[in-house]
Amino acid sequence: MSKKAFITLKLFATLGKFTPDSADNYPVEPGTSVRDLIAWLKIPEEKAKLIFIDGVKGELDSTLNGGERIGIFPPVGGG
């Protein structure tokens, strides 16, 4: 499988521990979904509560073509 596209990945709060070394230039296959990406990173899907793609809310089914900035958040409720 060739991975010719690259994304910038930021995993927030408790998801930080899943951050790969190459998060600033992370290779993905063009057309891959956020759901696939999360599975690849071994992030439990229910923890990926909020997804932003280039600063706009995305979904698990959103697809990535390279060049995007991805932010993934767990639920945060402390006060």
Q: Please report how close the Cβ of residue 11 comes to another protein at its closest, in angstroms.
A: 10
Residue 69: which of 19, 17, 10 has the closest Cα? 10
Closer residue to another protein, CB minimum distance, 20 or 50: 50
Structure tokens given for 59: 């979904």
- Helix (H) or strand (E) holding 35, with range, is helix 34-40
Structure tokens given for 24: 């600033």
Per-residue contact track with another protein, 14 to 53, x per CB under 8 A? x-x--------------------------------xx-x-
Q: Which residue has the tokens 């509560």?
A: 49
Binding site for another protein (CB under 8 A): 10, 12-14, 16, 49-50, 52, 55-57, 71, 73-79
